[in-house]
Amino acid sequence: MSLYDIYVISPPLAIAMVGILVILLDLVVQRKRALPAFALVGLIVPTLLLVAQFQDLGNTRDLLESPAAMGNGKASVLLGSLVVDRFALFFGFLVLAATALVILASVDYVERLERRQGEYYGLVLFSATGMVLLASASELVTIYISLELTTLPIVALAAFHTSSKSSEAGMKFLIIGAISSAVMLYGMALVFGFTQTTDLTGIASKVAETTGGLSFENLALLTGVVLIVAGFGFKISSAPFQMWVPDIYEGAPTPVVAFLSVASKAAAFAVLIRVFYTGFFGVGADWGVLMAILAAVSMTVGNLVAMSQSNIRRLFGYSAIAHAGYILVGVAAGVEGSSGGTAAFVSVGPNSVLFYLGAYTAANLTAFFAIVVIGSRTGSDQIDDYAGMVQRAPVLAIVLTLALIALVGVPPTSIFIAKLYVFTAAVKGGLAWLAIVGVINSVVSAYYYLRIIRVMFLQPPPSDERIPMSPSSWVAIAASGAAMVWMGVAPGFVLRAAEIAVATLAVQT
C-alpha cells in the first residue's frame, strides 16, 4: 500500500484511531470528563483530512506523485473497492458532524455509568468509521463489511444500559440485523453469480450488456436485486421491514437512538444510492417503481401508527419510518423512463435526498437532544409527562417545539424546503401520484407532532421542579438547533453542496 492509498483512506483510519485511543485513555485517566473532550478534539483530524481531500478533488495536479489524479473528481484505492469523490465526502462531513454532536449530548448519560465510559465513546467512533467507509464503498464485499462495522457497535450500544428493555433492544437489533445482512449477502451472491464481478461499475456494464437496459430479464438477477433492496430496507427502517424500529427506539439509550436515527440512516442511504445509481441504473425503470412503492408504504404506515403512540421515543421511531419514506421519494424520482427503454439521470432526485438527510439530521438531533435532557430529569418518556414543560424548562420546550415544527415541514423550516425539493423531483420524474401521497402524509404527521406541543404548552405541569441543562447539552442543542434554523432560512449552501456531490454520480452514470 502506497502513501497515496493511505492518504485516500486516512479519514476513516483517523476516526478508528481516535476510538482506540479513547479506550486506552480510559485505562489511565481518573477524570472521565477527559474522554469526550479527547474524542471531540480527535475528530478534528479526520475533519481536516476530509477538507484536504475535497480541495484536492478540485485541483488538476497529481497528489503525492500518484498515478491517479484526484483532480478528475474521483480517487480509488484497493483495486477500486473504495472510491473517494465529492459524494463520499458529503456524507463524511455529515457523519462527523452528527458523531461530534452525539458525543456532546452523551456526556451526562455516560457520567452515570460506573464503568465502560471509554468503551461507549469508542463504539460510537468505530460505528462512525463504518459509516464513512460505507459512503465510499463501490464493491459489494466492501459494502457488506462496512455495513457490519457500522451495525455491530450500535448493537452493543443499544444494550449498553443494564435495564431489561436495553438488553432486549440490543438482542432484537442483533438478530434482525443478522437476518437483514444474510438476506442482503445472499442477494449479492446472486448478483455476483450473474455478473461474475462484485465491482459496481462492472455490474452496470454486465447488466447493460445482457439486458439491453430494458428490464431484469434474468430471474437470478431480479431475485438478487430484490433481496438487496430488502436488506437495505432493514437498514433504512422502511416499511415493510420496520418491525425492529419502535422497540429499539424505546429500549436503547436515548443518545444511541439519536445517533442511530440520523448518522446510520444517512450512511445507509449513501450506499443505497451508490449501489443502485451506479450498479443498476441501466435498468432503473424496474427498481425505481419498487422504490416508489416502498416510499408510499413507509410514509403511510409510519404516520398512521405514530398517531396512536403514548411513548415519545416510540413515536419518533414511527416518525423515522415515515421520513425514510419521504427520502425514498427522492431516490425513486432520480430514475425517469424515457423513450426507447433507456433511463435518463434526473439529478434533482438524489440532490433532494442529500439535502433532506442534512435537514433531517439537524432537526431530529435537536429534538432528541431535548428528549435526552428531559427524560434524564423526569425519568419518563411518556408524552403526558411533558405536560407544562414550558414552565419547567422554557428553553427546552421552545427548542423542542421548533424541532417538531421542522419535522412536520412547516415553512420556512429546513424540512419544508427538503420536502418541497423531493416532491418536485417526484413530479419531474413522472411520479406525481407519489408526491400527492407525500403531501397527504405530511398533513397527517402534523397531528402527532402538534399533540406534543399542545401537551407542553397547554396542560398543567405535574411538578414545579425546574429541569436544568448541563453545558455540554447546551452546546449540542445550540449547535444542532442553529444548523436546523440556518438550513431553513439560508439553504443555498447545503443545496449547492448536494449538487456538487451528486454531479459525481451523474458523470459515472
CA dihedral 267, 251, 241, 150 (to 10 degrees): 30
What integer pLDDT is reported at residue 28 of this predicted model? 86
**By 3-state DSSP, what share of the chain in percent is helix, strand and coil, each rounded to 5?**
75, 5, 20
Burial pattern 120-159, b for ≥16 Cβ within 10 A else e, equals bbbbbbbbbbbbbbbbbbbbbebbbbbbebbbbbbbbbbb
Give every CB contact of residue 74 below 8 A, 6+ residues apart in sequence. 57, 83, 84, 85, 504, 508
Which grid coordinates are listed for 39? 474524542
Question: Mean pLDDT of residues grouped by 10 in the chain (509 residues)?
Answer: 80 94 89 88 94 72 39 66 87 94 89 81 93 90 91 88 80 87 90 86 78 59 85 87 85 88 90 83 66 91 92 92 92 59 54 91 93 86 88 90 91 88 86 92 92 91 83 91 90 87 67
What integer pLDDT is reported at residue 304 of this predicted model? 94
Q: State which H helix or E strand residue 320 sits in.
A: helix 312-333
Dihedral sign from CA coordinates of 417, 95, 272, 245? negative
Backbone region of residue 430 per phi and psi (left: phi > 0; alpha: psi in -120 to 50; beta: other values): left
Q: What SS3 class is residue 343?
A: strand
What integer pLDDT is reported at residue 343 of this predicted model? 42
What integer pLDDT is reported at residue 65 of this predicted model? 40
Give every CB contact of residue 207 below 8 A, 6+ residues apart in sequence. 195, 221, 279, 280, 282, 283
How many residues appear in the chain?
509
Residue 412 preceded by cis peptide, ω within 30: yes
DSSP label of 61: S
| Helices marked H in 58-215 | 86-105, 107-111, 117-136, 140-158, 164-195, 200-211
What integer pLDDT is reported at residue 452 of this predicted model? 93
Angle in degrees, CA 137, 242, 275, rounded to 5: 20
Q: 72 to each of 56, 65, 75, 396, 430, how far by Cα in Å? A: 10, 15, 8, 47, 33
Pairing, β 335-337 against β 82-85 = unpaired
Choose among 161, 178, 292: nearest CA to 235: 178
DSSP label of 460: P
What integer pLDDT is reported at residue 55 of this predicted model? 83
Q: Where are the domains of the chain?
A: 3-508
What integer pLDDT is reported at residue 344 of this predicted model? 44
Q: 239 to each of 181, 313, 366, 459, 495, how far by Cα in Å? A: 17, 18, 25, 34, 28
* Residue that is written with C-alpha cell 454486465 in the block: 206
